[in-house]
Chain A
């Protein structure tokens, strides 16, 4: 895992890889490195998809099972913008954010608001909402797979190590790097919003003591709506950024839902940084186990590990133990 941290400094990585290559007769070390880089790509996706959930679940305690559908909506916004206005993927990000956040606000107003303090009902309602959103998108765009183009300047890959003939030995695609960067940037922005602005202070006040905040003149209903909408907007951005990796289709969100939950549960929602740690742990362990065994088994093992983790530490790995 420490290999990964040193990726940001290309030079040290080069020597590290060189050394390892010499020690372990070449191929193996490089293969593991490549696999870790693959894992780095997974980490980016997990970070992006988990972040929105960290807001809606972590901050507001809303069990949002429609999270995957908001990701899907973001991807469809990008698809529409690209196919009608030939827009660059990067430029569609604000639209995806605005549209999904607006839908999130409406959903909060119509559905979530009635169910506060009732987590199982919320879970059921958001699951129903997910089915409805899928159904509506299917009505509008049909179930056909849609494709979104990644920007040309993000194609190709960053070659970290090449052999004598110039063929890439260790490389990561620019788009994977881009995903990780977007994830980190959004994490940074969110942390700034939460810990550096008056809106964030109000959100934290409401989560700590709703009645007291109300007494002090905080419009808690507006805060709830805004926070939920923001979480959904982040899911929308995730959808946009992820969309070129696979095809865009109504059920695509389901794939990301379980993973996003696993990240949030692993990292814990006490602090937003937990999400980064959670996605790093899950993404890299997934990649490593997949290298040793195979992909499906890796998924099974990681999911099992997370189940065990929930059993013993439902508050997440990276949460400071509170006295109850």
Chain B
């Protein structure tokens, strides 16, 4: 973005950001040596969910578009990856010996549908993991943001999208595996050698660092300032000559692409994908992480997703009523701590300030007459 906002320091090389990301990355890089396989896969999953929350934070926390559809983008990426892994099952591992995935055989498909077949190749699959959700988001964004539809209606539209797509995926059993989704996929291979749990963990960690760094850089730049201004006073930004719709579409599409990639990494880890992640309930989960962590803080949603996931894992051994606890937490946060748990931290530790460019000291005009 070449547009600059007057009165604010131009963003410079983000030294602080790089130092902090490196420290964070190193801290997590040690984890595989301290944890068992089960714990490691749990942490990997939580990091993915955390990155997903960060991607939602970009559109909600910074731009003010509350979306329940981020689970949809996540799952679209996930399905692309799942098709790739499913199609690359070796013939011996495939119970039917043929080219066709088992669920397609059960549903009487004779040959691979043309829109799934290319996903057998890794570059295409990787591209689809990002491009399919991004394209879907772009179409929706182009459609919605060029209108005068207000924030609440956009949220209702995302609810409807999530609901409609869940119904659609469940009904197209022959192509999507129906309610079960795509299960028993192969392991992710690197030129023939399967990647271990630790390898996948590192892939995920690199991805999460990338997402966080990118989001930080974006929101710290002038572009981020404009996003924030759109959130605060859309009309004024429009009057200043910025094309609000373009900005919204861009961040919405980018966020969807990041969410899709998260889904793509989730499948090799989890070894299945199903419409559960399409449904409104999962979209809500993402929204809750962001709300509790703190909107517009990036690191808050990440931490909230990881902590809540960890707590949920231990609480669910004791009680079945985890959802009730989450609901109460959400209510309390919305009513009493609207800027999220991150705002409770003392200013010093509040990393959000990093992403908020400091205003240039106003030049005080010399007093008149003297």
**A interface residues, Cβ below 8 angstroms from B:** 63, 111, 114-115, 119-121, 123-125, 127-132, 134-136, 138-139, 143, 254, 258, 261-262, 265, 294-297, 299-300, 303-304, 306-307, 310-312, 314
Q: B323, A135: Cβ atoms under 8 Å?
A: yes
B149 touches A314 (CB 8 A): yes
A121 and B147 contact, CB distance less than 8 A: no
Contact between B160 and A131 (Cβ–Cβ < 8 Å)?
no
**B324 adjacent to A139 (CB under 8 Å):** yes
Q: With A and B bound together, what is the CA distance between A294 and B148 in angstroms?
A: 34
List 8 extra interface pairs beyond A303-B167, A311-B157, CB under 8 A: A111-B335, A115-B335, A128-B328, A135-B327, A135-B328, A254-B280, A294-B171, A310-B153
C-alpha spacing A304/B152, complex, angstroms: 18
Residue among B170, B334, B338 having the largest count of chain A Cβ atoms under 10 Å: B334
Known: A123-B152, A124-B66, A129-B331. A300 touches B168 (CB 8 A): yes
Task: Name the distance in Å between A159's Cβ and chain B's nearest Cβ.
Answer: 32
Contacts of A135 in B (CB 8 A): 321, 323-325, 327-328
Across the interface, A123 reaches (CB within 8 A) one of B155, B171, B325, namely B155
Of the listed residues A111, A124, A138, A262, the one surrounded by the most CB atoms of chain B closer than 10 A to its CB is A124
Measured CB to CB, the nearest residue on chain B to A296 is B171
Establish whether residues A311 and B328, one from each chain, have CB atoms under 8 Å apart when the complex forms: no
User: B334 and A128: CB pair below 8 A?
Assistant: yes
A132 near B327 (CB under 8 angstroms)?
Answer: yes
By the criterion CB–CB under 8 Å, are A303 and B324 in contact? no
A299 CB contacts on chain B under 8 angstroms: 164, 167
Give complex CA distance A111, B335 in Å: 7
Distance between Cα atoms of A111 and B148 in the complex (Å): 29
Q: Is the CB of B327 within 8 A of A128?
A: yes
Q: Give which listed residue, A128, A258, A261, contacts B331 with CB less than 8 A.
A: A128
- In the bound complex, residues from chain B placing their C-beta under 8 Å from that of A312 are 147
Q: Does any Cβ of A come within 8 Å of B276's Cβ?
A: no
Can you report 8 residue pairs joining A to B where beta carbons are below 8 Å apart?
Answer: A120-B152, A123-B66, A127-B330, A135-B323, A265-B153, A303-B160, A307-B157, A311-B143
Given known A124-B66, A128-B331, contact A138–B163 (CB-CB < 8 A): no
CB-CB under 8 A from A254, the residues of chain B are 280-281
**Interface readout for B303-342 with A: 1 if CB under 8 Å, 0 if not?**
0000000000000000011011111101100110010000
User: In the bound complex, what is the Cα–Cα distance between A139 and B170 (angstroms)?
Assistant: 30
**Most chain-B Cβ atoms within 10 A of its Cβ — which of A128, A299, A312?**
A128
Taking a contact as CB atoms under 8 Å apart, the answer to whether A296 and B168 are in contact is yes
Select which of A136, A295, A310 is within 8 A of B157 by beta carbon.
A310
Q: Indicate if the CB atoms of A131 and B323 lie closer than 8 Å.
A: yes
Identify which of A136, A296, A314 contacts B150 (C-beta below 8 A).
A314
When the two chains form their complex, are residues B327 and A307 in contact, meaning their CB atoms are under 8 A apart? no
Q: Write the nearest CB–CB distance from B294 to chain A, whole angstroms.
A: 13
Is there an interface contact between B164 and A310, defined as CB atoms closer than 8 Å? no
Cβ of A297 and Cβ of B171 under 8 Å apart?
yes
Say whether B144 contacts A311, CB under 8 Å: yes
B10 interface contact, C-beta 8 A: no
Q: Are A128 and B330 in contact (CB under 8 A)?
A: yes
Interface string of B6-31 (1 = CB under 8 A from A): 00000000000000000000000000
CA distance A296 to B176 in the complex (A): 14
Distance, CA A310 to CA B164, complexed state (A): 15
Contact of A296 among B64, B170, B288, B334 (CB under 8 A): B170
- Evaluate whether A132 and B151 lie within 8 angstroms (CB atoms) in the complex, with A254-B280, A258-B159, A311-B144 already known: no
Tell me if A132 and B324 are in contact (CB < 8 A): yes
